[in-house]
Amino acid sequence: MKSQHSYEQVHIYAIFYRFKASLTNEAEEKAQPVKKAFPNIRIVLGDLDNSKVLEEESAKADVVIHASDHEGAAKAIAKGLASGHSKEKPGFYLHTGGAGILCWETMRDDNKLGEWSEREYNDWTAVQDLTDLPKDAFHKNVDDLVLSSGSEAAYELAHLVLTGKYVPIIGQGKARWNNVHVADLAQLFVLLTEAAVNNNTDSELWNEKGYYLVENGEHLWADLARLMGKRAHELGLVDKKLEENSLAGFEAVSWGFNSRGKAVRAKKVVGWEPKAPSIEDTVDEILKDEKSRLDKN
């Protein structure tokens, strides 16, 4: 979930200021607001296809935070970390994957779209189930690269509710999905970065066991869609009560998928606890943000 509030800005500042991180940005004009907000950081201009820059910067860095599923970038980062570090002075690679990786069963069978699933992955008692997911699972190619060296869906739903003026229900509407506030996700990055900077090489933290599911509960996609439709009308963002409809474009396919996990490892090894509002409590904010964005376009 996205937010403009200062809650998560504190955590982002903690990463960039306290650890004086470098930052890759696409263009000088995009870098300036970041430089203004965090004057103590060094900005590196480039993109995920610039393997030379990524490799060089990764070799210099103590900790690399990679928040994209880009295979070329992952290879460059892994190569740079390996060349610039040793067992005595290790480098740490924190990678963000996507919840889509847990949807592989639904992806293989269209008849399961919108159906209830009992499968729930656990990153503590069964972490190998996560590292051994099939090769055709979303994001698996990049996850494998990280391991061998580790969303905005609610806004898309709000967009469809506001522009299509109906409540999208996929299949029987029983598919379930985890959610987490970006502020809570940022806090986990802070905790893991602190562990890396303190050279904490506990085997439960990194490598084949360093696979962290991050969630603060789960929602039924149908329930979330209905809540958004109801609140959109009550807030005056649409001019009528919205009816349910199964019609939706490609972006809606994931609302029929099940992606369910349990965040255990982060709580046990670094004491992470989610504290930000739930997705249901931020529905009004999501709708208003999306309406504001639509009005500007």
**Does residue 1 sit within a domain?**
no
Task: Please check whether residue 37 lies inside any domain of the structure.
Answer: yes
Find the CATH number of the domain harbouring 150.
3.40.50.720
Query: Do the beta carbons of residue 112 and residue 100 sit within 8 Å?
Result: no
Share of the chain above pLDDT 90, in %: 22
Please say if the pLDDT value at position 91 is more than 60.
yes
Q: Give the chain's domain count.
A: 1
Q: Looking at the whole model, is its pTM more than 0.85? A: no
Could you tell me the two tokens for 25?
């940005």
- Identify the domain containing residue 162 by its residue range: 6-296
pLDDT digits (tens, 9 = 90+) for 222-264: 999 999 999 999 999 999 999 998 765 655 566 777 788 889 9
Res 175: pLDDT: 85
* pLDDT on residue 249: 60
Gap between the Cα atoms of 292 and 297, Å rounded: 9
| Residue 79 belongs to a domain | yes
Residue at 103 is within a domain:
yes
How far apart CA 20 and CA 238 sit, in angstroms, is: 45
The three state secondary structure string of 66-107 is ECCCCHHHHHHHHHHHHHHCCCCCCCEEEECCCHHHHHHHHH
State mean pLDDT over 269-295.
92
